[in-house]
Amino acid sequence: MQKTITYILLYATLNVSGAAIIKLQLKEVKLASWQEWLNFMFNLPFVIAASFIVLSALALFKALSSSQFSFVIPIATGINFLLTIAVGYFVFQDRLSIISYVGFLLIIIGVLILSINNQAHA
């Protein structure tokens, strides 16, 4: 199970990092024409970000191959969501509401319950 969690964390970290790099690059571009799209898609930061996202998918596939689907997907989705919110808040200064904090708490509780349940059936 430790390897599965490691792959899930790798998935979420690479996925959110790739998306954040792309978002940072989009601050400077409007993507109004095909030329702008092509220039954007072939610049080095985008290629690196896309590589991170592809590697994140490979890490998720490895996690899926090593544990139950009903464990991997909810945990991976929860961790990915939490990292996305953290990066949004700290890197992009996204503002959070009380509902967001309640959602965080519910996700963390859900991840813990799923983890405990998976250990009980292992």
- The alpha carbon of 101 is separated from its chain's Cα centroid by a whole number of angstroms, namely 18
pLDDT 10s digits, 90-100: 999 998 899 98
Q: How confident is the model at residue 103 (pLDDT cuts 50, 70, 90)?
A: confident
pLDDT of the residue at 4: 94
What is the Cα–Cα distance from 111 to 83, expressed in whole angstroms? 14
The domains of the chain are located at 2-120
Both tokens of 94, joined, read 């996204």
Distance in angstroms (rounded) separating the CA atoms of residues 63 and 61: 5
State the pLDDT at residue 122.
Answer: 61
- pLDDT exceeds 80 at position 5: yes
